[in-house]
Structure 1
Amino acid sequence: MSGADEIAALDFASVTPEEFARLVKGLSAKEISEIAEDSTLRARVLKEVFGRMERQFKPDVAGSLEALIRWKVTGQGTTPEAVYETKITGGTCTVTEGRSDAEPRVTLVMGDADFLKLVSGNSSPVTMFMLRKVKIVGDVALAAGLTRYFDIPKA
């Protein structure tokens, strides 16, 4: 069974963030491409990852932070770009799918593979930026510190 098949067979509700991180770490670039090219599976994975952001948010660390973060996960081939927004305000984090009319404090643009590696703790955001695997528009300092506001698993 390929890594993409393993991801497709997952019952996301029963998978811990650590288990997901280990699965992502074990995926080859080809397997991540297979996930990205399967629009139904890609949508499931993105929805689950962004849905968990609210639960993995650390309000005590965020304090009085007020920010709208826009995430653009670029598609490949015929796969369209996916856009999500994370709003941090009043010690809470809410995630919505799609682009709002609000002006984000920072926008992060990256491909599917780099997004999965970032959110699963399998890649350093600073390294990704330096290697131009993630494009940051807006508050670079906020982007650099984003990982501290979430309980990101380690594989």
Structure 2
Amino acid sequence: MSVKETLAQLKEKMNSNPEGIAGVEKVYQFDLSGEEEGTYQIIFSNDQVEYVEGVHQEPKCTLVMSDKSFLKLVEGNLNPTVAFMSGKLKIKGELGHALKLQSILNKYQ
């Protein structure tokens, strides 16, 4: 599955069952390298989520990784802590925001 398909599927899951994102008002940015290189933002607002390509808002947290690592992360096949410690994942911004994202993703896997 591609990055865009994965993001669309994740958006659909979250918006159809917004309990896991209730009260979250944050913008996360993913700077991906690899075949599907690009910048994607996931915007949490009003108990809904949207994803966009490019930079549209100021992110609270930016995660830098390969497209393959991103797909594994969303699928639950990549431990973010191990990825961070091994250099596969770089975080710009507050680490607490990245931990919040991890807990959100865990609810939708």
Q: TM-score range by the shorter chain?
A: 0.7 to 0.9
1:62-141 → structure 2 map (5 Å cutoff)? 62-75=21-34, 79=35, 81-100=37-56, 102-141=57-96
Q: 1:145 to 1:127 in 2, by over 3 A?
A: farther
* Contact 1:59–1:149 (8 Å) recurs in 2: no
1:61 aligns with 2:4: no
Q: In 2, are the aligned partners of 1:70 and 1:108 still within 8 Å (CA)?
A: yes
Give identity over the alignment, percent: 30
CA distance in 2, matches of 1:131, 1:124: 11
Q: Which amino acid aligns with 2:41?
A: E
Q: Give yes or no for contact 1:126–1:144 (8 Å, CA) kept in 2.
A: no
For the residues of structure 1 that align with 2:71 and 2:46, how far apart are their CA atoms? 28
- Residues 15-48 of structure 1, C-alpha deviations (whole Å, 9 max, x = no match): xxxxxxxxxxxxxxxxxxxxxxxxxxxxxx1110
- Give, in angstroms, the shift of residue 106 of structure 1: 0.5
Query: In structure 2, what is the equivalent of residue 49 of structure 1?
Result: 6
Deviation at 1:88, TM superposition (A): 0.3
Corresponding residue for 2:103? 148
Question: Normalising to structure 2: TM-score of the pair?
Answer: 0.84
Contact 1:61 1:149 (8 Å CA) reproduced: yes
Report the structure, 1 or 2, having the larger helix content. 1
Unmatched runs of 5 consecutive residues or more in structure 2: none
Pick the structure with more strand per residue: 2
Residue 137 of structure 1 aligns to a residue in which SS? strand
Tell me if the contact between 2:29 and 2:63 (Cα under 8 Å) persists in the aligned partners.
Answer: yes
> CA-atom RMSD, angstroms?
1.7
TM-score by length of 1: 0.61
